[in-house]
Amino acid sequence: MLKRILPVVLVGMLIPLSAHALGEVGWLVLNSGGGTYSMKQLNDEIEAYNTSNPGSPQFPKVDQGASWGGAVGFEMSNRWSFGFGLDRLYADTKASDSSGGLEYNLNANCWRAFGEYGFRPIGTTAVRIGLGAGMIGESGKLIQTSPSSAPLEDKIGGSGPLFEGYAGGDLWLTKLFAIDGGAGYRYAKVPKMKTATGVFVTGNGDPVGVDFSGPYLRLGVKLVAKGIE
């Protein structure tokens, strides 16, 4: 996760400096949170497998997961902010017994560009609303374990569009530092899960997708390169 967030942090160190030179206020946010997922198709397949194999280890349904992320942007004099962010979404289901196990690590990365409006200028505790768009990409693994051998891993891929709307706010503790929080709804669906051996399919032969759509919460810290004057 650190390798994914580090580029956002590095860009975040440059954008505030260049934005401030242009008379704008640049900022960096690091956050964590979580949300619920609309994994109906996947959960239907899990339920069908569990029902058909009552004597085998059962896979839990995937309904929610945690997230980590970061965003960089700048606020204009009219209180509009623009920027981009990266979120890492976590999702997992696995089943195992003494003979081994199988884990579907369905983690995904979300890249988004966004615009948001603050009802008061940055540096002042206020409410913000925003819209974002981008893409989601699967970045997980299928892991098979056995007591007699090393784990076997196969990467899971696939991508799809992402859209979100949210509201939140900043609680400024100093001229440089604020607590940043928000809640929103994310549409983020990967229509086809892929591995090196092909596409996951249902019993009817239809592609299996993973749907991270649903409400979410974020909480983090916001930093500016220079104190608000």
Looking up residue 21, the CATH number of its domain turns out to be 2.40.160.20
Count structural domains, the chain: 1
Strand 177-190 with 214-224, pairing: antiparallel
Coil, strand or helix at 38: coil
**Torsion sign over Cα 135, 224, 20, 16:** negative
pLDDT of residue 8: 47
pTM of the model as a whole: 0.85
Residue 177 lies in a domain: yes
Residue 229 lies in a domain: no
153-165 burial, b at 16+ Cβ within 10 Å, e below that, comes to eeebebbbebebe
Q: What is the pLDDT of residues 33-89, one digit of tens each?
A: 999 999 999 999 999 999 999 988 999 999 999 999 999 999 998 999 999 999 999
User: Are the CB atoms for 61 and 38 separated by under 8 Å?
Assistant: no
Domain containing 22 equals 2-224
Nearest to 142 by CA among 131, 153, 133, 157: 153
